[in-house]
Amino acid sequence: MLAQIAGCAGNGDGLDASGRPNSSGDGSGPLTPDFASIQANVFTPICTQCHVGANAPQGLRLDAANSYGALVGVASSEQPGQLRVRPGDPANSYLIQKLEGRASVGARMPLGQPALPDATIQVIREWIASGATRAAAIGATAFAVETVSAAPASLAIAMTRPADASLVNSTTVMLQKVDTRSGEPADVPARAAISPVNDSLLVLTPDQALAAGQYRLTLRGTGASALADWNAAVLDGDGDGSAGGDYVQTLVIGGAP
């Protein structure tokens, strides 16, 4: 340990400003009012010094894989009546209040570090004011499915941005069990809803725990009642980069074929 402490800091060769290998392609560059830029210039190099991993303060993980889902449309754990990022409303976004030091609870962020420059906070304000979208971060403007996690008790469907809650129901989010011999699907009674802690996450809860087998998940991106986001952008279900098309994925529960 003595040898380590006596050593010098790293020379940064081959690393980006966040200390990650240059090949990691974190998108760092000039700070601009889009999520990818804010992640690369603020959240990753500054906030993740504490807000990372299972011990992240307040459970708020701000690494690239988790920050959007933990911030946008998610209630603050310190002030449950406020959203951490309220799209379109930077003044009432708890993130801005914490960065500006006017939050009603706790110290100004980043804790133990100098306050962010006003210009940096202004860029984050602009991102929130323009809707706090994640589009630039995923390289697409489509409202689409990011990942699906399946378990017998529930399915979690991560979207690129919050869905219009009024359109989330059993006709837009459907689950069917596939008979492996005949290939015929049969509807599985289930309740679809937006996660109470993350409105970019759809949760599909079967009436009964799913038995082992093959299932088909469908999110409707066609028809009059297609799934859409709050700006009425219809689901890009077929992944062609433009709105429209059903999202269909086959899932296996319990290791069945």
Give the x/- contact pattern for other proteins in 67-86, rule: CB under 8 A. ----------xx--------
Range 10-42 burial, b when 16+ CB lie within 10 A, else e? eeeeeebebebeeeeebbbeebebbbbbbbbbb
CA distance 167 to 140: 22
CA distance 22 to 30: 16
List 23, 30, 54, 189, residue binding other proteins (CB under 8 A): 54
Query: Is 29 an interacting residue with respect to other proteins (CB under 8 A)?
Result: no
173 φ, ψ to 5°? -125, 110
Query: Is 105 an interacting residue with respect to other proteins (CB under 8 A)?
Result: yes
Reading the block at residue 239, the tokens are 């992944």
Query: Is 209 an interacting residue with respect to other proteins (CB under 8 A)?
Result: no
Task: Please state whether 180 falls in left (phi above 0), alpha (psi between -120 and 50) or beta.
Answer: alpha
Reading the block at residue 175, the tokens are 């689950």
Q: Which is nearer to other proteins, 102 or 130 (CB)?
A: 102
Q: Which is nearer to other proteins, 5 or 224 (CB)?
A: 5
Stretch that binds other proteins, among 51-59, 86-94, 123-131, 229-237 (CB under 8 A): 51-59
Query: Is 223 an interacting residue with respect to other proteins (CB under 8 A)?
Result: no
Listed in sequence order, the residues at least 6 apart from 223 whose beta carbon sits closer than 8 Å to its beta carbon are none
Give the x/- contact pattern for other proteins in 160-199, rule: CB under 8 A. -------------------------------------x--
Closest CA to 188 of 158, 159, 209, 163: 209
Query: Is 95 an interacting residue with respect to other proteins (CB under 8 A)?
Result: no
List 66, 82, 122, 176, residue binding other proteins (CB under 8 A): 66
Query: Is 256 an interacting residue with respect to other proteins (CB under 8 A)?
Result: no
Kindly list the residues in this chain that would bind other proteins in the complex (CB under 8 A).
1-2, 4-21, 24, 45-46, 49-50, 52-61, 63-66, 77-78, 101, 103-108, 111-115, 117, 197
